[in-house]
Each structure stands twice: as C-alpha cells, then as structure tokens.
Structure 1
Amino acid sequence: MFKRVVGLSALLPFSVLSQSLLIENATLISPEQDQSKQSAYVRIRDGRITLVSFSPLAAEAGEQRLDATGKFLIPGLMDSHVHLSLMPGLLPNGEPQALQKQFEIQQPRSYLYFGVTQLLDPAQSAEQLKVFKSQPLHPDIYHCGATPILGGYPTVFTGPEQASEMFSYMIIRADTGIPVPEGLDPAEHTPEAVVAKMASEGANCVKVFIEDGFGERSDWPNISAELLSRVKQAAKQHGLPVLAHANAIDMQKIAVDAGLDVMAHGMWNWNQYRQAQQMPEAISQVLDRVLKTGMTYQATFNVMDGLTATMLPETLSDPNYANVVPRDILSWYQTEPAQWFKQELLSDFGGLPTERIRQIQQNTIDNGERVIQYLYEKGHPMVLASDTPSSPTYAAQPGLSTFNELQHMHKVGISLKDILAAATINNARAFGLEQDYGTIEPGKMANLLLLNSDPLKSIEAYDSLDKVILRGEVIDRQSLAASQ
C-alpha cells in the first residue's frame, strides 16, 4: 500500500555483522506459502537473505552454520502498536528512576525474547526513540508522527505549555478558543506543516487523535473534519498512511468518513449500544465500510486485558513476567506505592465492588471481540498490534503483551495460519515495509525465528522460541531473558 525505501545502514546498528550464515534443514513456514516446507536451507549475507533452497547446500569457507533439524523457521514478528521508553507502572512523578534505567536496558531484549523483531511506535519522534535505539540489541523500530490538536486528547492532560514541548507535531485548531502558548507559531502547526516536518524527520506514518472524552465525557476539543481532510491530503503527498486513535463507535465513524488508512484500536466502546445482545446495525454499518475500503484494523485486545489484569492479585505470578521484567522492578511492583494505578481505577469506578468492575470490564472486552469476529468472518485480514502499554499498568510488559495479544486473537477464532500472516506480512504491507519484512525470501531482511514447535498447530509455539535471528545475527533466546 505504502512504499518506504530505507537504507540498510539505517537498520543495522551493530558494528560487526556475520558475513555469512547458513541455516540447514529447517521446516520453513512463510505466510505466502500454502503449507510448510521441509528440509529448507537459507543463506544469509550481510543481514539479508540471499538464497532459499530445498536441496542441501554446502557451507562455504568461513560460513557460520546453524543446524535447524526438527525446528520451524518463520519470519520475525512485527507489533505495529507499541509505546516505548517509559516503564509501565512508573509513578506519575517518574520515580523510581533507578528502575526506569533498568527497564530501558531490558525493554528491547524483552521484545526480542518473544520474537518481535520489528516495532512501530505511533506516538514518538525519532529523537524520543534514541535511548531505545542506543541499546546494543534491539528490534528494528519505525514510528509515526503524532498530531494532537491543542487542547484535545492527549494534551488535555498536560496543559498548553507542556503540550507544546511534548508534541512537536501538534496542530492548532483556531476555533477552540484555547490560547496559543507564547513562542508557538501557528503557521508551523498546520496539518501541512507538521506532516511535512515529520516526513523530513523519517516518520513512516501519521497518527491523529479522534477522541472527545473518556467514559461519559464528550467535551474535549476534537479534530475537525476539515483538519482531518487536510492531514489526509498532506500525508498522501508524502506517501504516509494515517492512523486513527479511535475506540468508540462515533469516533470510528469519523475515521471511516475521513478515509483514513489504519484504525489503531478495536471498537470496545459501543456507547448507547453497550448492552446489546446482537450486533447493532449502526456498528455493522461502520464495520461494513471498513471491509469495503480495506482499512487496516488493529484489535489491540491488550488495552482492556491490561486494565483487567491490574485488578487481579495473581497477575504477576505468571512466570513469564520474570523473563521480561528485571528482578528489582518485579519486586517493586509488589509494593504498595506500585499499586497507585489500581487505586486510581477503583476510584474511577466510584467505589463499586471489585467483582462488579470485572463484569463491566468483561462486557467491554466481549464487545471488542465481537467486532473483530465480525470483520474476520467476512474475510478481513488481521494485523498484530498490542498497544503496549496503553496505560500505566504493570500488567502490560514488552514482548509478553505481544504474545498475549496473539493468544487473544486465537481465542476469538482467528486461525493459526491467519495469525502468522497478521504478525508478519500483513503488518509489513500495511506500513509499506514488505520489501524488507514479512516473508522468507531472497532480498528480505534476515529477521527470523527458529521455533521448537509448529506455529500452525499451536498458539503456544510462539513461546517455544529457540533462536532469534536479528539481521543475520543468531541470538539464543535465553540470553535475552531479564533473569540473565
């Protein structure tokens, strides 16, 4: 859909690459193939696949060899909705900073631990991602430019002055009556100006926020249809897809009306239809237009799953947390100060009993599932997008939340074959990256996974990783664990 040509040097942060690697005797599973293929040999040079053969290949002089007998070779996974940098559950004042530093070191390794070799952060600039990219091992990272309007979500939580510092691509909507902060030139904050700026700074997409309030609120300034149209036109000129933050039926209708390219959330807020037992016609009409236009649709089950898990005392007992969360951070999560977000959630529900809160959350999850089932049953392709973390919940952790998203996708009926496509080629196509990722073919970036189990037979296979191959470099999975 969208073509972005990225030079090899921009994707290879390591000073030394393995010159040549030969993967031998793997069972190859690539989403463009109808079925898995036995006895595959894959040659990699300078970080890219150069040859795929189903006849034995002799190793060349000095070539590294990787015996994959009995193992399954698939493309590396892409999570197309993550928020990097801040440790989940950190206190609102940014403390404790010592734990934040530990998190910054482990975060990219945790994504790799679960086979995520490509990421898209839809809300941070290249400058804000420098810490992530400075780590010696990290997935390939892409980003959107986020364009909130002054006074709208999420700047409603920061105030105008701080918003002007946090959001360099902010758009000023003149008719809101919100004073423009001193020193901010409105001419530099039009849709045309901010999209041109983000394109020049290497953004791969544009993110808009279609949100007039959470819960019963609907009084936040929202982006207008006219501004949305101008964002869409400017993005088209630069070859960038436009993502919409929208999770309620009325907000998603606005995004569809504007002809945007990606819905960055599932529709779990059904508003006046939230108690409906059958799919309301008003919702099916919006979804039918998603189907007709081919709009990329991110389920982001992890948003509600993370909020629900925050309320459960047994959440952190899942042994996988120890694999992706450093020990000191995991211990801090057990303390009273770390429960601040849980207490905030309880307050938001006005003192309702915990069991009643869980019922409300489950109903919201059920509605989001029904939307995805409706689209999938009508043949709409899925993409893997976890929105990790969408809130300050310690339940949403890098890598693990991506795996949980895969499990939830399978739970609602998406086949294992289509889940593989969602996590690989579908995401690559949606963001114009299919020339580099998504399949196992000559010319593609050598971001690959070697599994001990068949992902076409079990969703748990994605937790059976043996090796991660990142730009041709072979990494043992256990070396990436937080406990190492």
Structure 2
Amino acid sequence: MKTTLSLAISALFAVALPALAAPSSADVLIRHATVVDVEHARLQPGQAVAIRGQDIVAVGDDASLARQWQATQVVDAGNRYLIPGLWDMHVHFGGGPALVEENKALLPLYVAHGITTVRDASGDLPEQVLSWRGQIAAGQLFGPQLFTSGAKIEGIAPVWKGTLEAGDEAGVDAALDREQRDQVDFVKITDSTLKPELFLYALRQARQRGLRTSGHIPMALTVEQAVDAGISSIEHLDYAFKAGVKDEAAIAADFAAGRIDRAEANRRLRGGFDRDTAMAAYRRFAEHGVAVTPTLDGGRIIDFLDVEPHADDAYLAYIGPGLRKTYAWRVDRAAKATPQQIQDRHAHYAQVAAVLPMLQQAGVQIMAGTDAGFLNSYNYPGIGLHNELALYVREGLSAPQALAAATRAGPAWFGKLDRYGAVQAGKAADLVLLERNPLQDIGATTAINTVILRGQVQDRAALDALLDATRAQVKAWNAADAAD
C-alpha cells in the first residue's frame, strides 16, 4: 500500500514539474503582438516573440509564452503589427572618395525606415562598401545587413567608375577571380563598353562558379539570351518590358550590326510590345528562377519632374551636399526636354509600369529595390523603399504581394528563407512593429513604432534620434560647403 502511494506521489510530481520549471531566459520578449504571416497573407493576433541574441527563439500564444519565458527587456506591442524586416534589393553607394562619410551617413536612414538589409548593386566605392559589410556583421558599425556585388564587371574604359575592366575572356576570368577573392555576395555586370559576347560569357562563367548575377543587358542582345546564359536577376523594369517586344531579336540584330542607333532601337521597342510575347517571356523567367527588381520609382521621378518637382523635398535634409550635387546631371537633362519628349516620358512610364502585374501573374519573383543613392536624383535611401511599394500597389499588385516583395523575395533570391522573411522561431531577429495593418494598406509600412535589428530594440525615440543625428550632420556639412 505504502509503495503504491509513493509511486502515485512520484507520478504526480512528474506531471507537475514541467509546469513548475523555471522560465527560459531571453533578452527581449515582445508581448501582445499581431504577427503578420507574409507568406500566407494572414494575421496571427495575441502573439508573443522571445528573442535571444540575434535569434527568434520562440513565437506563440502571448499568455503561454509569458509563463515560459522571462526577459531582460519586455516590449509591449499593444496589438500592433509585427512584420519581418524590410529589404531594399537595389541600392548604390558612390560619388568618389570625397563622399565616403556622406555615404556612411545613409546607413542609419535605412534602419530608421525599417530596412534591416540592403543589397548594394555597385557604385564607385566597392572597397569601402566591402569594408562596411564586414564591420556591420562584426557589430563595429551601425547599419542594415549589407550584401554587395563589390566592383561591377565592365568593358575597357567604361562610363562607370569603380569597375573591373574586361576586354576578352581572360579579362572576364580575372575579374571573376577578383570577385571571388573579395567574397562578393553576387556579381554585377553592366554594358557601358562590355562586348555583348563577353557579357554572356561572364554570365555563364559566373554560373559555373556558383555565383549569382545581375546586370544591365546590352541592347545588342535579347533578354532571353541573358536568361539562357544564367542571369539571376534583371534590374529595372525596362528590361522586362523589352523582353515583351515581339521583334526584340530583330531590333537587337539591327543594333549590333550598326543599322540603327540606340534612339531608333528604343523607338521600335516602345512600339512593339505584345502581351502574349511578354507572358511567354515572363513564364520563362519564372521557370529559370530569374527575379526582377523593378526600381520603378527612380524612373518615375525623372519622368515626371515637370509636374512633380523635388527641389524642396523635406527629405533633402538627410542627404549630404556632395550627394545632392550628383543629382544635377539627370535633373538638368530632364529640364532640357521638349514638350513632346516630356509627353513621351510620361507615356513610356505607363507602358513599363503595366508590366508589373503581368510578372506577378506569370509567377516571377518580384524583388523590391529602389536604385537609391548617388546620381539617381531624389531617389532617397530609406523612405524610397516605401515610395516604391506604394507604386507597386498603384500599378496593380495587392498590398500582400508588395509586402512579400520587400520581406521574402530578397531572402529567397539569396537562398536565405530559412533565416529571414518570417516571424518564426529560428529566424533572425530583424523585425518591424507597425501601427497599422500592411496587408490592408501598404502605406502602413511607413507607420513604424519600433525596429528590432539583430536583436537590438530601436523604439520610436531611438529611431527619431537616428534621424536627428543625420539631419544635424548634414546641416554641418551644408555649412562647411557654403563656406568653401
């Protein structure tokens, strides 16, 4: 009898022990959050998220997790909307060595706008950006996670600075060797002076080496040729539009042979778009896993400068004087346009923008990217991504599709969806807490309450302090620039 009683008491304690066990320790516990499941476009209210170091270690029912976890810092989300960190998949740093500090000052702007990762698509400061990438990863520099292509691959004596020049296959091989020594995250290939055959050779060789690629496709080639050679992402929506032109191959051949110039080639392209041709091309993109980064807003800014001037934008207070000066050449060129050229610009934007929902329909991975940085007039680091997303919805995507383009498409392209793109245990603690539901209104991405970057909480006061510090620095630079 006594033995039976002892066994019963032991069994009772065995059941009770888990409930009495000490709570697990976390660094941050977010309570009362509405988690946004971006993948399935649904909300999960009443959730808590436990963070340890740079990792999400638990997500679940708020009351349950509050019993299971204790944390050094507790964030009351107040039923606000928690999304994965935003990714800007096309940015630039550049303007020459004199503008290194002005470029570095852009890094906090991304974080202050909920952007926890950026993909640098090459400028003329490749060594500096590679250095920043390492410093950020090591916790020595504050900024978003940084992926970079390093120096772009180009032909001999190109327009763009900061390039690896290649005039033959051996030159391409040497450039790719350099990229691998620099451990770049992908390879950027542009077409200022690079021979078309070397462009394709570079794509094929990069693919053989296991390197992702993006670039500007030469006019003398079809987009299909670049896809077949292994390009991983197509930058700028204009190239996707070009792929939908019925006689694209004939135009490319005429341009390559010198029978037409670039202006005539563009005129024929604008008049030759065919929906059936386009959908076939876009399905091919999807089959080959080729993503498209539209960078829609950058083009729109220039196309509509006549009716939407930006010289008095409040956001210019965050952009250094040297970077602002790099805006001038595109602004000046746009100002010289004739009324007919302005009308053509407006019409061309509408033509190109109409491609966006077609890509989505075909199953193409659309990656949100801005083209923000030097040279690209009024295309601002930080707020630019939110402007880009607003255009996606205006031009035919749903709010959930636009949100996925900025949270899941980038990680998917880099093969990192196991680490990013969702609020789940095991993912990186890169998160943004919003005041409103972004699945209903994409404009909600601008209503940021808190950003969590690599597990570190930046509340609204901290984010405002980042903006204030950048504005103060730019003000000082402006004063020094005026005194020179």
Instruction: Normalising by structure 2, report the TM-score.
Output: 0.75
Listed as ranges, the gaps of 5+ residues in structure 2 are 1-24, 243-265, 473-484
Partner of 2:297: 302
- Structure 2 counterpart of 1:242, which letter? T
Answer 1 or 2: which has greater helix percent: 2
Partner of 1:344: 333
- Structure 1 counterpart of 2:102, which letter? F
- Give distance in 1, aligned partners of 2:31 and 2:218: 45
Partner of 2:4: none
Give yes or no for the alignment of 1:196 onto 2:177: yes
Partner of 2:116: 117
Give yes or no for the alignment of 1:421 onto 2:404: yes
SS in 1 for 2:105: helix
- Give distance in 2, aligned partners of 1:145 and 1:339: 26
CA contact (8 A) 1:246 1:264 kept: no
- Structure 2 counterpart of 1:82, which letter? V
Listed as ranges, the gaps of 5+ residues in structure 1 are 1-17, 87-93, 175-186, 213-219
Q: Aligned pair in 2 of structure 1 residues 190, 473: CA closer, same or farther (>3 Å)?
A: same
- Deviation, structure 1 residue 173: 2.1
- Give distance in 1, aligned partners of 2:443 and 2:148: 29
Render the CA deviation track for 1:105-150: whole Å, top value 9, x for unaligned: 4301111122111011122586221357578420000112454332
SS in 2 for 1:80: strand
Q: Where in structure 2 are the equivalents of 1:23-422 lying within 5 Å?
A: 23-56=30-63, 57-58=65-66, 63-86=72-95, 100=99, 103-123=102-122, 127-129=127-129, 130=131, 133=135, 136-151=141-156, 155-157=157-159, 166-167=162-163, 169-173=164-168, 187=170, 189-191=171-173, 193-209=174-190, 211=191, 220-224=193-197, 227-228=198-199, 230-246=201-217, 250-267=221-238, 270=242, 271-276=266-271, 279=274, 283-308=278-303, 310-311=305-306, 314-322=309-317, 325=318, 329=321, 339-347=328-336, 349=337, 352-353=338-339, 356-389=340-373, 392-422=375-405
- Structure 2 counterpart of 1:480, which letter? L
CA contact (8 A) 2:310 2:378 kept: yes
- Structure 1 counterpart of 2:47, which letter? A
SS in 2 for 1:315: coil
SS in 2 for 1:21: strand
- Give distance in 2, aligned partners of 1:410 and 1:404: 10
Q: Aligned pair in 2 of structure 1 residues 284, 128: CA closer, same or farther (>3 Å)?
A: same
CA contact (8 A) 1:425 1:434 kept: yes
CA contact (8 A) 1:23 1:65 kept: yes
- Deviation, structure 1 residue 277: 8.6
Give yes or no for the alignment of 1:467 onto 2:450: yes
CA contact (8 A) 2:298 2:376 kept: no
Q: Aligned pair in 2 of structure 1 residues 305, 65: CA closer, same or farther (>3 Å)?
A: same
Instruction: Say which structure, 1 or 2, has more relative contact order (CA 8 Å, 6+ apart).
Output: 1
What is the total number of aligned residue pairs between the two structures?
Answer: 411
- Give distance in 1, aligned partners of 2:372 and 2:182: 24
SS in 1 for 2:215: strand
CA contact (8 A) 1:274 1:367 kept: no
Partner of 1:215: none
CA contact (8 A) 2:403 2:442 kept: no
- Give distance in 2, aligned partners of 1:312 and 1:423: 28
- Structure 1 counterpart of 2:332, which letter? Q
- Deviation, structure 1 residue 416: 1.1
